[in-house]
Structure 1
Amino acid sequence: MSVNNPWFDFADEDHHMARSALEDQIYNQVCFHSQQGVEKLLKGFLVKKGKLVRKTHSLLELMDLCMKIESKFQDFKDGFRELDKFYVVTRYPDALPGTLPEGLPNKKDATDALQFFEEVKDFMETLNFKL
């Protein structure tokens, strides 16, 4: 795993948790850990490039910062937007109604979220980051 960047190590832990939650059919946690893992990958990228990490959970905000260094992050914009929807609704039972149109994430939401997480992880590896 990464030697000098704990963000990537924590992202790997989120990946493990998301996969485990999928096996256990705990779909809201798959989505939460997928969102968190992608957030940590983006923050790890910024740290690796010597940038300060902003206190935010918004993948779109982090994408904007990453795009100043690597424009290909734009290709993931729709996925970042989708994962951003899961941050609050998957954590709190009293989240605002309507955050997700059909309530809590279902199996398709979970598998899509995990697949997107893995796509971002693969992309990071193409940027020569050992994850």
Structure 2
Amino acid sequence: MQAMQDEAKRWLRQAEDDHATANLLLEQGRYSACAFHCHQAAEKALKALLYAAGDRPWGHVLPALLERAKSEGIAEPDAEVTQAVNELDKHYISARYPDAYEAVTPAEYYTIGMAEETVEWTEVILQFVRQHLL
């Protein structure tokens, strides 16, 4: 079980690094990339939660990862965490692929406000995971 705890911590460290990268991208005006890195941070944080419980998570759909943690009795998310997960999940595809929008690219579509919101939602998820891991 200690190996799974160590793996969980490793995933959380990478989630924290992805979140730091998202903040740098926000500062540089790279808003769609910021949003994608926020999704990545949230995904890795939720997977850390599952690893800590001895699970071997797979997939990229944030609500499914959160539901798995909930259904397995690992953690009970509140409304804010659930909303954060649902909001961030929208950015997995749309922050990267031009066919998500007509006539513009994600880099042209995303605004500072959108990016700031993804950073805030990620902080909610990271805090939730930290509370259950540490």
Q: What is the TM-score normalised by the length of structure 2?
A: 0.80
Q: What is the TM-score normalised by the length of structure 1?
A: 0.82
Shift of 1:125: 2.1
Q: Which runs of 5+ in 2 are unaligned?
A: 103-107
Aligned to 1:113: 118
Structure 1 residue identity aligned to 2:96: R
What CA RMSD, in Å, does the superposition of the two structures yield over aligned residues?
1.9
Q: How many residues align?
A: 121
Query: Hey, what's the Cα distance between the residues in 1 that align with 2:80 and 2:124?
Result: 11
Shift of 1:122: 1.7
Identical-residue share of aligned pairs (%)? 28
More helix by share: 2
Task: Confirm whether residue 70 of structure 1 aligns to residue 75 of structure 2.
Answer: yes
Query: Hey, what's the Cα distance between the residues in 1 that align with 2:130 and 2:88?
Result: 20
Please show how residues 36-51 of structure 1 align to structure 2 within 5 Å.
Answer: 36-51=40-55
Structure 1 residue identity aligned to 2:129: M
Aligned to 1:59: 62
- CA gap of 1:43–1:74, structure 2 versus 1, over 3 A, is farther
Q: 1:53-92: CA deviations, max 9, x gaps?
A: 12x1110100100112211255422221111111111122
SS state of the match for residue 15, structure 2? helix
Q: Which runs of 5+ in 1 are unaligned?
A: 98-102
Runs of 4 or more above 4 Å deviation: none
Structure 1 residue identity aligned to 2:114: D
Query: Hey, what's the Cα distance between the residues in 1 that align with 2:37 and 2:129?
Result: 17
